[in-house]
Every structure is written in C-alpha cells, then in structure tokens.
Structure 1
Amino acid sequence: MKILGIETSCDETSIAVLEVVPSSHKASKDKQKTKVKVLSNTISSQIKIHAKYGGVYPALAAREHAKNIDKVLKLTLKEAGLKSVEEVDLIAVTKGPGLAVALIVGITFAKTLAWKFKKPIAGVNHLEGHIYSNWLPPKDLDYRLLTIDDRLFPALCLIVSGGHTELVLMKDHGKFKIIGETLDDAAGEAFDKIARLLGLGYPGGPLISKEAEKFCKSAIQPTLDPRLLAREFSSGCMADLLQISLPRPMINSKNFDFSFSGLKTAVLYLISRLNLEKPRPGLETGPSRCHLDYLPDDLDEIRPAVALEAQQAIVDVLISKTLRAAKQYKVKSVLLSGGVSANKLLRETMDEKIAKFNKEPPRLNLGGVIFTPPRYSLYLG
C-alpha cells in the first residue's frame, strides 16, 4: 500500500510517499506487525522568506505553499519512482492544528487530487504525525517495523515544536490522552523569541544552540581590568564573570503543564538592565535574577552566556516534567518528537536522565528514549 502524504500546516511545503507492507515475521493475533518505508520525502523551505520577520508570516506562508506545492508533488513522485498519483492507494493530508491559511492550501490540493484520481482521502492530526514520526526508519534502514504489542505501551510522548509543547499518554496505537500542555508560548516559540531578543535571527532554536556552544568552548583569558582585580580576580572569562540565572517556569508545579512566556520576559529584562539594547517603547524594565559583578559593554560578550542559560532552562523544564509524568503513569517508553526534539542538548540529557532514572527506586525499567530520526525532525525552533 502506498500513501501520499501532504503537509502545509506552517511554513514548510512537504509531500512524501510512504509504503506500508505486511511483515514477513510471524505474529500472533494480538500482535500486529507492519513494515513502513519512506519512498520519497520532499520539502520546500520558506526559512529565508520569513527570517526578516523573526517568525512565520501566515499570508506569505500560504502564498508560497500555493506557488510550490505542485512542483513539490512532481519531485516527490519522481523520487518515489511513480509516474502519477494514480499509482498511490491513499492520500493523507494535515487537517490541523496549524495556520488556517496554510492548512487550506494543502487540504484543497489533496481534495482536488482525490477527486481527479478517485482516491480515498484521510485527514491527519498534525500532532499525531509528530508522534508517529518516531516509527519512521533512520537513514541507514530501508524499513522500520511498526509493532503493536505490550513492550512499548503505555508510552509517554513529549511533543516539542515551534507551536506546540505537549505531554501525551499513549496507551496504544491511536489512543491518546493529553496530560500536559503549554499555557502560553511553546518551547520552540520561546527559542525564536529569545533569539530575536539576542539579535540572532530566525529560526531561533539552532542559532541559540550554536551560540551556547561558543560559550562552552570559550577559553579562559587573562584580564587586567582593574574592576576585576579589585575583586581579587586574577584571571577570568565569561564563565567566571557572569552568573546568569534564568527562571525555570512551572518546573515545580504539581501538574504537567508548561509555560515559557516568563522565560522570554526574563531575558528581555536582563538585556534591558544591562543597557545592551534600548528597551522597546511602552516596556518598562523590571527585576532580573541576573547577578553580575562585571557588566560587559557589548551584547556580543554576553550573548553566548544568555543563550546557554536560556537553552538549559527550557531543557530542564521539559525533562523534569517528562520524568515526573513517566513515574506517575508508569510508562514503558518515552517518545520525543517535534522540531525542537532535534536539539542536541535535549536529546543527550533526556537519554542520560532516563538511564539514571532506571537505576533509582522505583525502578520502572524504561526502554530508553525513542527519537524521531533527525532527517524527519526539522529543527526550526
């Protein structure tokens, strides 16, 4: 069975052909096994178009979808070795959530193809798509086995993207329950807004990660600054001079909901306090949890340190909530998906914490973390 998938929920026009075949493995009646293979996956990116706005401009996104979607379809069919949509068995299209003006382009296109080629059509929830990306085969595998048995479920799914941050309890394939979600900004949105405050551009996630790496790799340089010597500093670097502490919003709340708008505001107040950027009209500076013995004269000096702390704050909250939920619901596996799931620090820390989590009482023996293959997880913040 070949499935044509169409996605236009935000700023990427993407079409793929997926092949689903019965497994040759013997399976009992209560264990269904299916093999999944990606025959082609074409993406038309709009990053350069939206970069100057610091985020996605909905009307422009819809226009680009309409302009590119037919070209993307032709490239996808060619890569899959298909001559026409006539050769697919089902058309699937993202029905939401997402930008309404962007979604309508993909839905209309899919309906037109279904009518023209007399194919069945299925609307797919965007977030379910994120979850099921965990079953897509990595680059070095042709097929991945999609199995329904008791080794995986109940599973806990952490969805982290530009528009969504949710913890979903998955009792079986197709059986979902949202146990936590963001009350305001999503994790990816926080990355984008903080990156904009730091003058890094868009998309914010990968840019903040790169900036944070600069801080980690910075060497300790000797200094003769009299203000530092007066405080008995004989040498120092940004790691020594800056003691930045940003909040971890709702990390200790009893529920599993998230909130990242306060983190963004804390960064704004921090920058305003340091007089590294003029406050925007109508915004008053407020208290900051940043304690500095030495104030750098240029934003370039402090940017890596703020990026490092902001990234760590977001990761700390995501992992803390996920582990507490895993313990409370006694899940057997953790799934990580969405654009932000490609964040290196998040992946490495989640793996490390779950390995440690399995050794501490009560031992749940989680089967580790199942990650979306990086090539299917665009890190757009």
Structure 2
Amino acid sequence: MSLLILGIESSCDETGVALVESSGDAVPRLVAHALHSQIEMHQAYGGVVPELASRDHIRRVLPLTEAVLTESGRSLRDVDVVAFTRGPGLAGALLVGAGVACALGASLGKPVLGVHHLEGHLLSPFLSADPPEFPFVALLVSGGHTQLMRVDSVGHYELLGETIDDAAGEAFDKSAKLLGLGYPGGPALSRLAQQGDPAAFKLPRPLLHSGDLDFSFAGLKTAVLTQAKKLGEHLEERKADLAASTQAAIVEVLVKKTLKALQETGLRRVVVAGGVGANRLLREQLDAACARQHVRVHYPELHLCTDNGAMIAMAAAMRLQAGRQQASTEYAFDVKPRWPLDALE
C-alpha cells in the first residue's frame, strides 16, 4: 500500500514542508520539498528571537505547503498522513507547526503524527542517493545536540555518549561570535578557516582521552576567548588562523570519538546527521579515517543537513513502515520542547 505523507518542520528558525511517498518495504522517496530560512531576519539580533521565529512560521507554512503541492502535482486530498515536529525545539515555534498540521488533518479527515526532530535528522541520510543500512553508529551534530548513538533499526536507539555542556554546533557559533563573525556563526567560521593555519594555535581537545564517548566543548570556547584577548589589536590579522585552529579542534574530537564508538560497538557503518554534518573538514577527515578502516560513511544531501520538512516526513514514513507508531485522528496536540531521543518509544 502506498502512503503520501506531508511533513511540517517548525522547531526553530527554518520552516520546512515536504511530501514523501512510502510504498511497501522500499525506502520511502522524497516527492517534493520547500524550505524558508529565517537567517536574514535574525541576523540583526545576533541569534534566534523565539517570538519572531514563531510569527514567521505562521506566515510561511501555508504558502510553502501550496508550493510543495504545486511542484508535486498533488492536492491536499491526496495526502494520507500529516506529520509535524513535536519536539524538541522552541515551544512557540513547535506549536505553529503542530497547530497547522492538526488543523489540516482535522479538515481533511486524515490522521496526524508527531515526530521527534532529532529522529528526523538521524534518518535523513535515507533521503540520499546512497541510503545506509541498519545497524550503524550515528554521529548526531545538530544545534545544541552532539550525541553518538547505536542505531539497530527505526526506534531502537542506544545512547553511547553525548555532550556534557556545549555542543559542537554551539562551539562553532560561540567561537564565531567571539571573533566577531556574526550570525549564523558556524558556517562563517568554517569559511574563514579555509584561509588559516589549523596548527597556528594550540587549543584544547576536551575529553579526547577521557576513555568514554562523551563530549565537552565549553572549555574550547573559553580557550578561544583567552587567545583572542591575548592577540588584542593583532586579532584581525590572525583571525583566520584562530578560526582554523578552532575548527580543527572540534573536528578532531568528533572524528576520534566516532572511531572509538565504532571500535566499541564493532559496527562498520557510520551515519552523520545534523547541521554540523555539512562541515567540509569533518567530512574530509571522517571519510579518510573510515576509509583506512574499511568503514562506510553516510551523510544527508548537503541541502538536507539543516532543519527541513523532508526529514520529518521521512521519519514519519519510516516509523509507520516499521510499525513503531500509528498515526492518530485525535487532533488535540501538545509539543515537547525538551525531549531526549533515547526516551523515544
């Protein structure tokens, strides 16, 4: 039986809508998707303003839905299930997507399904031309989350390690802010790092030799601040070197901890998901390290690394396909701004 799933993502500063089609046991396929980023709106404030984010989601979600339907040649009546991001994320932003999804479901008489945002990222490589196979180790590097998971199948996730303070994405963004690079900081720091020397400054690699699979990046951010203050008036001329050294420290920790997770689990496949998964240096170094150990690495397509509706529709399709969840015609809804992935049923 074929199912057409409409997915709505509104957890933070991107509004995403997509259609995914699921048929039998085959990997669900992306039919169409549309995305609006709020980056330009939030730049003036140096970060995401939750109230503005929520209001912008309200303006964007229905026009994006219409665009996706037009691109696909489908109508709302063709949709079998409406999926939405239930959490984690900004409460007000989540409520917009949940409210619209449940209103659409009720008006069409179609069931709805709330999706875990991080599960969406985790399963997003299945949207690629080279989808992974279970089981695998997942490096989840999205926003405020840095986690290593063992993934045996849809809904069967074991947390191997996670950050105890700042996540990798936060380390990128906060270090960029210290260097005066604006918002969003992570991509700006990565671009600047291409012009610098990654060995110019000796920065810490927190928990690199801790013996476990946990992460910590708060100390690195403090070290960047200390070094920036030491440089004083010479910071501008050494900014690219400091950016490159910062990126090198973050990437080394991510790569080595991932390799340790592979060693401990005995698995031979890695999935990298989340916004930091688009980082070029991370991809280069992880690819090289895994190639030496004959380990396969899978990523989402670059344009699907950030938050998007396609990953939400895909996660819903795969949960339904695996029998992990049933879509519901109960249209009362709630959201979960804090929702650990390993607590997902």
Task: Give the TM-score normalised by the residue count of structure 1.
Answer: 0.77
> Equivalent residue of 1:34, what SS?
coil
Structure 1 equivalent of residue 287 of structure 2: 351
- 8 A Cα contact 1:153 1:332, kept in partner: no
Partner of 1:338: 274
Alignment match, 1:327: 263
Pick aligned residue for 1:378 from 306, 317, 330? 306
Q: Pick from 77, 88, 102 the counterpart of residue 93 of structure 2.
A: 102
1:72 positional shift: 1.2
Larger Rg: 1
Which amino acid is the alignment partner of residue 273 of structure 2?
S
What letter corresponds to residue 374 of structure 1 in structure 2? L
Cα gap change, 1:379 to 1:174, in 2 (>3 Å): closer
Q: Which residue of 1 aligns with 2:13?
A: 11
Residue 36 of structure 1: how far off its partner (Å): 2.3
1:379 deviates by 9.2
Correspondence 1:48 to 2:40: yes
The yes-or-no answer on 1:255 pairing with 2:212 is yes
Structure that is richer in helix per residue: 2
- The C-alpha deviation readout for 1:95-128, integer Å capped at 9, x for no partner, is 1111111111111111111111111111111111
One-letter amino acid matched to 2:32: S
The alpha carbon displacement at 1:243 in A equals 3.8
Percent identical among aligned pairs is 44
Instruction: Give CA-to-partner distance per residue, 1:15-71, whole Å, 9 cap, x none.
Output: 00011223xxxxxxxxxx413221111111100111122221111111111121111
Cα distance in structure 1, aligned partners of 2:43 and 2:171: 16
Amino acid in structure 1 at the alignment position of 2:104: L
Q: CA deviation at 1:341?
A: 0.2
C-alpha separation in 2, matches of 1:49 and 1:174? 36
Contact (CA 8 Å) 1:343, 1:379: kept in 2 or not? no
Conserved in 2, the CA contact under 8 Å of 1:43 and 1:72? yes
Within-5 A mapping of 1:77-116: 77-83=69-75, 85-116=76-107
Partner of 1:122: 113
1:372 maps to a residue whose letter is: P
- Residue correspondence of structure 1 range 133-148 to structure 2 within 5 A: 133-138=124-129
1:158 matched residue in structure 2 = 139
Structure 1 CA distance for aligned equivalents of residues 278 and 64 of structure 2:
24
In 2: Cα distance, 1:12 partner to 1:145 partner: 24
- Could you tell me how far 1:357 is from its partner in structure 2? 2.7
Superposed CA offset, 1:245-264 (max 9, x none): 11111111122111111111
Shift of 1:309: 0.5
The question of whether the paired residues in 2 share the 8 Å contact of 1:54 and 1:201 is answered with: yes
Cα distance in 2, alignment partners of residues 253 and 107 from structure 1: 41
- The alpha-carbon distance between structure 1 residues 186 and 344, as it changes in their structure 2 partners (threshold 3 A), is same
Map of 1:234 onto structure 2: none
* Residue type at the aligned position of 1:12: E
Mapping 1:217-366, distance limit 5 Å: 243-276=200-233, 297=234, 299-358=235-294, 366=295
Map of 1:186 onto structure 2: 167
Aligned residue for 2:319? none
Q: Gapped runs of 5+ residues in structure 1?
A: 23-32, 139-143, 147-151, 217-238, 277-296, 359-365
Aligned 8 A contact 2:287 2:297 in 1:
yes
Q: Name the counterpart of 2:326.
A: none
Cα separation, 1, equivalents of 2:98 and 2:306: 22
Cα distance in 2, alignment partners of residues 102 and 256 from structure 1? 32
Q: Which residue of 2 aligns with 1:221?
A: none
Counterpart of 1:200 in structure 2 is 181
Q: Take 2:231 and 2:212, find their aligned partners in 1: how far apart are those partners?
A: 35
**Residue 287 of structure 1 corresponds to which residue in structure 2?**
none
The offset of 1:164, in angstroms, is 1.1
**Distance in 2 between residues matched to 1:68 and 1:255, nearest whole Å:** 43
- Structure-2 separation of matches of 1:132 and 1:311: 26
Give me the CA root mean square deviation: 1.8
Matching residue's letter, 2:122: I
Provide, for residues 305-326 of structure 1, a one-character-per-residue CA deviation record: whole Å limited to 9, x for no partner.
0010100110011111111011
- SS of aligned partner of 1:10: coil
In structure 1, what residue type is equivalent to 2:300? T
